[in-house]
Structure 1
């Protein structure tokens, strides 16, 4: 398989900038696409060539499969990198890319299909000897099946879109009387987000940590784990803060997480970068598989910071046929955290805050990294995700990372739109976060019993 020479980046925002920079470091030419709303975007300015793809709406621009493949062919690309979001986990798009004679920077379409179907992924994990949360055997055939599952296993339950991700199509159900209305809403949301209203159900575990393992696999049978990340600071199933390594894990649990992730990736015939996600019982250390994401994750920088491995560059290198010999069993160094800075108002229930950024002045200094596409004068569009920047801090240990994060967040200045900077500053003063004992339910419980949205975040 020849080395890649020119890649189409089928995305926008900070991940488009991130892929552009990795490609440039490898000597690979880049072609960007942009909507009318992104005409002045940073990824457009940085690319070797940029092609207008359509009007602002994502459905008329970044989600146009045929147009993206046409641009790739017409601009002489030999590959397509989908980033995350949009079409990154769309098996049909991956098939179209391959059918056009282009290299898809990611796993095979069949793997995307298998792991994207949450019920099939759970079944594969169980066959591979990976612990799974008790759940339905497959996609619910009808609503009565969900009722029967609840009567057999008890409540609360978690409804999940089989084709979903990012918290879309998910509902927690606390009793049978809530089940039918919640299932109808979840199906409606899943259909709108993914074009598929297939659902499955599993037991909902409240006092748990959300831990995930980063894996990378090549085309020669090589699979390697790059360690775990903790993603337990969440709001409505959306991750807000991630860190690596995960705090409060024993070496035994840490090793078992990585071993099962590698085993699952091998069973799935995986290629490229992927993430195996688990729920971890804080009392027992037991863990269970929940899903596998067949793309680069938003939070990948924390793994890069502690391993020194450029994951996006290795996506491109693996797609070009290279072996993983160069990143075999990397040793973690220090501790890293990522804070997602979005254009949302934490004092108003995280309401989106699109608009023009009057001033954008990110922090710098030792241990500080800021992945962003924004600049002073940039307009945050209402058409896309509200992510402004990912503030990543790295220290010799978790305590130093927290201290550096406080410094960096205090230095970060963004004017013109409301942002989640005040929320992150507040979080770093909370005892449960400082000592690493928070769970996935911590933030919802904390917000519910205090007035921090109106007081501490102003």
Structure 2
């Protein structure tokens, strides 16, 4: 058995792995960026190593820094979590070359299955039907246009090495291709470190159904459960449930068998998920995620199987603890997971809402589980995923699970940032959800969220505005006669020369919000983020609704549009600038 595991991740999933390892008597090592130095996963781990930097590129996906932390810590296992390096075969190989166990599938299987293009080829070999699309990386926008013209619009451009809706852009016609291509590549590069994309047909009203499986190094493989993940916005999941309800007789078992065959075809071991699109009685292979999924707890809740424990045991060379028949026999009841994201769902826009969490009070009661990486006082950064936590509920039937989830959601308290909770409640209470007559398009195309309004978090007090930021200071200390070079985070109190002017701040709206009201021509940033691209120049004439800038927040690109027609009088930002919510980005002079 492994003795010490380094978790090459952050947030909720790092906490999840630390807890499982602790129950198994395994010590844990956390890594952290500058922004995460006081994060929950850092506090829970037995050891923690600083990676430096703020963005993921500067920390969690800097392979040299991670490999150095593995080497320094003496860990004999590495758990990648999900996202970041979890599906990066080169990182897995580098870990193995150090004599350290990568808690995941073999790199060869990752090469084939983590790349969405080659995984489609593997599915074809295994006899699974696939959604019509390319089986090679797309070479440019012209290839996308040719595919759409041949197979029909809409089409979807997808990151070949990604998942979770990142780097995924739906195009409804040839005129949209160039911008969608560039945006998909930027998002893919930012979140996964690679920008290859491919294209496939976009189904009009599908359900998203997936199969959780686990294999071992002896060649055994079982599927644990099905999951329905159709309640989505921007191709990212909001609510998941297990098992996938109301499938025709035999479909779930057929999906499970197809998933196991696909995994065995590439010599897969460890936990993985095969995703399918289901529509009109047919299912199509979509992709395989060669890692643990965010929604894995719903499979755990209906089987009493700890998937992280199984991952660790498989990595250590143990056989699976159960046969397929034993897994089949242990499924019971129904489970629902609700992802609580720091997003403002007002009018169904789901705008990222990073910032400090002033208060978190999780719900409790029979069949209720709360997985999180944040406590009261922690902050959701614009540089990372906006998942606050996952509410996971079990019930003896789907009806009981829905009612219990609604009760628990109404008890859950998250203050300081806007969250998706109001939208989650609308979904769970809707008759279409109860009747299972929705699809992956339902939230954005059918669900009426016009009545939802989430007010902004309280404005910081003047004391907060004037509070000095913390800066890093290096010094040398002695403990029991032994010297240590240490870093401390202390208030920044620079000496200001007499007569020096204070630093100029970017213009912000008035506290009342009047400066950025609808139709004012003062275009505000709706959230904290980074300017990726300017779409217009000063002096340009624009119509209301025309794109002005592209703002990236929490790895998602958002186009900020003009609120009135007129002339762009001033652009106050440049590509690469970091802005806060309410900052004025541009000023338009009315026509």
TM-score (norm 1): 0.94
Q: Secondary structure at the match of 1:324?
A: coil
TM-superposed deviation, 1:191: 3.7
After TM superposition, the structure 1 stretch with the greater mean CA deviation from structure 2, 181-190 or 233-242, is: 181-190
Q: Provide the secondary structure at the position in 2 that maps to 1:212.
A: strand
Q: Paired residue for 1:309?
A: 305
Equivalent residue of 2:382, what SS? Answer: coil
1:242 is paired with a residue whose SS is strand
User: 1:362 aligned to 2:362?
Assistant: yes
Q: Write out per-residue CA displacement over residues 252-273 of structure 1, whole angstroms, 9 at most, x where no aligned residue.
A: 1011000000000001111100
Q: 1:442 to 1:104 in 2, by over 3 A?
A: same
**Aligned residue number for residue 110 of structure 2:** 112
SS at match of 1:59: coil
| Larger relative contact order (Cα-Cα within 8 Å, sequence gap ≥ 6) | 1
For 1:189 and 1:75, the matched residues in 2 are separated by 32
Secondary structure of 1:427's aligned partner? helix
Shift, 1:142, TM fit: 4.3
Aligned counterpart in structure 1 of residue 285 of structure 2, from 285, 289, 314: 289
The aligned counterpart of 2:346 is 347
The 5-angstrom pairing of residues 80-159 of structure 1 reads 80-159=78-157
8 A contact 2:358–2:376 mirrored in 1: yes
Three-state SS of the structure 1 residue aligned to 2:123 is helix
- Supply the distance in 2 between the matched residues of 1:183 and 1:385 (Cα, whole angstroms): 22
Q: Residue in 2 aligned with 1:227?
A: 225
Kindly state the Cα deviation for residue 36 of structure 1 after the two structures are TM-superposed.
Answer: 2.2
Per-residue deviation, 1:137: 3.0
Deviations 1:304-359 (A, max 9, x none): 00011000110000000010143544131100000001111111622222222222
Contact persistence 2:418–2:455 (CA under 8 A): no
Asked whether 1:409 is paired with 2:409, we answer yes
Alpha-carbon spacing, 1:176–1:51, altered in 2? closer, same or farther (3 Å): closer
SS at the partner of 1:363? coil
Contact kept, 8 Å, 2:418 with 2:456, in 1: the verdict is: no
- Superposed CA deviations along residues 97-144 of structure 1, whole A, max 9, x for unmatched, are 011110000011121121122111101100111111111231224444
Which residue number corresponds to residue 433 of structure 1?
A: 433
Mark the CA change 1:85 to 1:412 in structure 2 (over 3 Å): closer, same or farther: same
Query: Secondary structure at 2:51's aligned position in 1?
Result: strand
Query: Following superposition of structure 1 onto structure 2, how do residues 2-401 of structure 1 map, counting pairs within 5 Å?
Result: 3-281=1-279, 283=280, 285-326=281-322, 328-329=324-325, 330=327, 331-347=330-346, 349-401=349-401
Structure (1 or 2) with the greater helix fraction: 1
Would you say how many aligned residue pairs link Structure 1 and Structure 2? Answer: 453
Deviation at 1:6, TM superposition (A): 0.7
Give the 3-state SS of the residue equivalent to 1:89 in structure 2: coil
CA distance in 1, matches of 2:163, 2:123: 18
Report the CA distance between 1:4 and its aligned residue: 0.8
Q: For the residues of structure 1 that align with 2:178 and 2:43, how far apart are their CA atoms?
A: 49
Q: CA deviation at 1:457?
A: 13
Task: Give every structure 1 segment of 4 or more consecutive aligned residues whose post-TM-superposition deviation is greater than 6 Å.
Answer: 455-458
Deviations 1:417-456 (A, max 9, x none): 2111111122122111121221011011125x65134499
Question: 1: distance between equivalents of 2:451 and 2:94?
Answer: 48
Q: CA deviation at 1:150?
A: 2.4
Name the SS for the 2:2 alignment partner.
Answer: coil
Structure 1: where are the runs of 5+ without partners? Answer: none
Structure 1, residues 70-100: CA drift from partner, whole Å, max 9, x if none?
Answer: 2222222101001011111111111110111
Higher mean C-alpha deviation, range 81-90 or range 302-311: 81-90
Structure 1 residues 17 and 185: CA distance shift in structure 2, 3 A: closer
SS in structure 1 at match of 2:78: strand
SS of residue in 2 equivalent to 1:179: helix
CA displacement 1:130-165 (0-9 Å, x = unmatched):
111111231224444333322332222122122222
**Is the partner of 1:275 in helix, strand or coil?**
strand
Alpha-carbon distance in 2 for matches of 1:391, 1:455: 20
More divergent stretch after superposition (83-92 vs 265-274): 83-92
Tell me, in whole angstroms, the C-alpha distance in 2 between the residues paired with 1:122 and 1:408. 39
CA distance in 2 between partners of 1:57 and 1:455 (Å): 28
What SS does structure 2 have at the residue aligned with 1:60? coil
- In structure 2, the gaps of 5 or more residues are 458-591
Q: State which drifts further: 315-324 or 59-68.
A: 59-68
Contact 2:84 2:192 in 1 (8 A): no
Aligned to 2:461: none
Between 1:138-147 and 1:380-389, the stretch displaced more is 138-147
- Mean Cα deviation higher: 398-407 or 346-355: 346-355
Indicate the larger mover: 54-63 or 97-106: 54-63
TM-score using structure 2 length = 0.74
SS at match of 1:136: coil
Distance in 1 separating the partners of 2:140 and 2:14: 40
Q: 1:137 and 1:84, CA in 2 relative to 1: closer, same or farther beyond 3 A?
A: closer
Q: 1:198/1:71 Cα in 2 relative to 1: closer, same or farther (>3 Å)?
A: closer
* Structure 1 residues 393 and 11, CA gap change in structure 2 (3 angstroms): same
